[in-house]
Amino acid sequence: MAKSLVIVESPAKAKTIKKYLGKDFNVEASSGHLIDLPSNRLGVDIEKNFKPQYVVISDKKKFLGQLEKAAKKVEKIYLASDPDREGEAIAWHIVDRLKIKNRAFRVLIYEITEKAVQEAIRNPISLSQERFEAQQARRVLDRLVGYQVSPILWKKVRRGLSAGRVQSVALRIIVEREREIESFKPEEYWTVEAGLKQLLESNGISFIALLVKYDGQKVEIHNEKHALEIVEALKNKKYSVFSVERKERIRNTLPPFITSTVQQEASRKLRFPVKKTMSIAQRLYEGLELGEEGPVGLITYMRTDSVRISEHAVAEARSYIGENYGADFLPETPNIFKLKRSAQDAHEAIRPTAVATTPDQVKPFLSEDEFELYKLIWQRFIASQMSPAVYDQTIVEIEAGKGLFRVTGSVMKFPGFTATYMEGKEEEEEAKEKEEEAKLPELSEGEELKLLNLEGKQHVTQPPPRFTESSLVKELEENGIGRPSTYSTILSTIQEREYVVKEKNRLKPTLLGSSVTDLLIQGFPEVMDVQFTADMEEKLDEVEEGTVNWVELLKRFYKEFSKRLTQAESSMRSLRREGVPTDVECENCGSSMIIKWGKKGEFLSCSRYPDCKNAKQFEYNEDGEIRIKEKKKPEIRNDILCDLCGKPMAIRTSRYGKFLGCTGYPGCKGIKRLKDIQGEEIDGLKEAQKDSKEKKKESKRKPFRKNSAKKKAEGKSQAKGYQA
């Protein structure tokens, strides 16, 4: 019989760890959080120092029961949930529920390898009260905002909406970028470009130089007339090399991945949504089956903000580089990367658990997505310990009459780390880099050049681009909004709530998202402030460090927040009543139509409602203009006649499927079952009739209780409406 119990979060992790521990250990999984705040009420006693009212999650009771049973049979219990705040909270809740404080030990496993697991078990630590309180403070903060602001949105817009302390600020950033784009006024400007080549080289390299100075002044051309005047003045001039500047440019290697950078890079290079990246990374960390070797954890823990690497991992990487690339690719001393000021540095960067486990070796055992992400992490880590890339950069200036042209070329002299890994770029950065890497011939000062063509080119200034998932994560990180473990939840929540949609892989706020943002800024300016949210993240970090008391932090926050709650009920606009104005005219009464939101999303309603009840479904055309959706006319089957009145039947659709209904409806209510072309019965009618019978039986068995039904509905609405 096992003498010790190890509790982890997932069955996959349990399976991998089990093979590294002997028969004296039983390994069980909690399957994530077992304890949380209740889903159908606030669950925080504000008057009693914000005491959380924890409950067992309903679908986790069986897992708690299994752990209770297993705990009774052992002497020691090792809590090996993930080494972060969430994992610490899971450990604390298990200890509290199982009453095992005197025989429970915390173990932090940053990589699931035999050495790391056994070392963690040999060196257990005490549970961290500070880390638990930091997680608890965040959970309570998010609950206070979500459960008290969301109902106001239900009253002002529609039911089912949610507000979140961090998600709403992320939404604001997207909305404000969209408004920058909408208000942007493009400006015309022109450039003059010369196509040139060496005079004596008939088959030499041609290149394009840009006019940078004219008559001794920096070139600024705002219209076609001015551009054509310059072209005319320079087209017959002699073109010769004025100066050639050659210099060596060093491109330093990149640090290994942290959570935010792996999310950004997987988005840019693999087109993975952030949520998908984290899900795959979790599997790579917990362990995947590698044939006869069994489950193996392939990467270190994936929620980290540190670029630090252990000495043995650096030694492995340097050994591999020396053997496979040669001494030139290996720097004299290991590369060490500077930590950001805000980094907690709790554990290492994301890296492979074993450098020798190359992507090609494990490829047969992984799915395509798992392989691509593992390869990205493995290559980035190896590259982080390689020599810099070296480029020869040449800047050539060419004179012609009063004009001075310039062209820059860059040639790789030594690939360095780029032999293994090249960082992905956003489209705008990639275009700029291509401009700076022109291929140039060997040129010397005073050398005459041949003019191939000279032309003025029109350009228009561009608005800032919409955020991609990767660029939004970068923006959130730079502004101190959220933490590595929260980016995935933020992005998925604002999309699931239909506040944001993806267009060509870029995030665009919906009208609902923009409207909710405006209401929240009006009612809760502090909560929606970027700097306020960043400061709160720092305060939570200080709770973990033990320098700030979590209850005092909540008291200071709630003092102002509670005032805003009281004011918001009366001060915030009601879009449920006012809607969003449009230029569409109501065909029934001539009044303007307004956009409102219902269970099925946006719809047009007459502004004179309830006097005029005209409502329409609509969509947006390519120019963003409103277009009324036309109701689909039912398909009439002249070959099938109604048994009651003899009129043709029409194919109609109910929530149960398709059926045949009389075209004389509502005068005639004749219906029939519809058969598809294979002759199989479609049960739209059958299911509708069956459902109707069941409802009649149910109403006879259970009398309707107004109060209990209302209470249940409110609980479901709250559970559905809130997402932190």
Tokens matching residue 345 = 């540095």
The second-level CATH assignment, the architecture, of 138-183+468-571 is Orthogonal Bundle (1.10)
- Which pLDDT does position 714 carry in this prediction? 42
Residue 122 has pLDDT above 70, yes or no: yes
- Which pLDDT does position 18 carry in this prediction? 93
- Which pLDDT does position 697 carry in this prediction? 53
Residue 360 has pLDDT above 70, yes or no: yes
Residue 443 has pLDDT above 80, yes or no: yes
- Which pLDDT does position 344 carry in this prediction? 59
Q: Which CATH number fits domain 259-384: 3.30.505.10, 1.10.290.10, 3.90.470.20, 1.10.260.40?
A: 1.10.290.10
Residue 237 has pLDDT above 50, yes or no: yes
User: Strand 635-641 to strand 626-628: parallel, antiparallel, or no bridges (unpaired)?
Assistant: unpaired
**For 552-656, where are the E strands, in sequence order?**
580-585, 592-598, 601-606, 615-616, 618-620, 626-628, 635-641, 648-654
Q: Where in the chain is the domain with CATH 3.40.50.140?
A: 4-127
Contact at 8 Å (CB) between 493 and 167?
yes
Considering the chain, what is the average pLDDT of its residues? 89
pLDDT tens digits for range 34-64:
999 998 899 999 999 999 999 999 999 999 9
- Residue-by-residue DSSP string for 400-433: ETTEEEEEEEEEEEE-GGGGT------HHHHHHH
pTM: 0.83
- Which pLDDT does position 705 carry in this prediction? 44
- Which pLDDT does position 631 carry in this prediction? 76
- Which pLDDT does position 673 carry in this prediction? 82
As a whole-number percent, the residues of the chain with pLDDT over 90 amount to 77
- Binned at pLDDT 50, 70 and 90, residue 704 comes out as very low
- Which pLDDT does position 601 carry in this prediction? 86
Q: Where in the chain is the domain with CATH 1.10.290.10?
A: 259-384
The second-level CATH assignment, the architecture, of 4-127 is 3-Layer(aba) Sandwich (3.40)
- Binned at pLDDT 50, 70 and 90, residue 571 comes out as confident
pLDDT tens digits for range 284-314:
999 999 999 999 999 999 999 899 999 999 9
The dihedral region occupied by 526, where left means phi > 0, alpha psi between -120 and 50, and beta the remainder, is: alpha
Q: Which CATH class name applies to 188-252+389-460? A: mainly beta
Contact at 8 Å (CB) between 173 and 362?
no
- Binned at pLDDT 50, 70 and 90, residue 607 comes out as very high
Q: Which DSSP letter does residue 608 get?
A: T
The CA-CA-CA angle for residues 186, 187, 188, to 5°, reads 125
> Which are the catalytic amino acids?
301
- Which pLDDT does position 424 carry in this prediction? 85
Q: Where in the chain is the domain with CATH 1.10.460.10?
A: 138-183+468-571
Burial of 12 (0-12, 13-18, 19+ CB in 10 A): buried
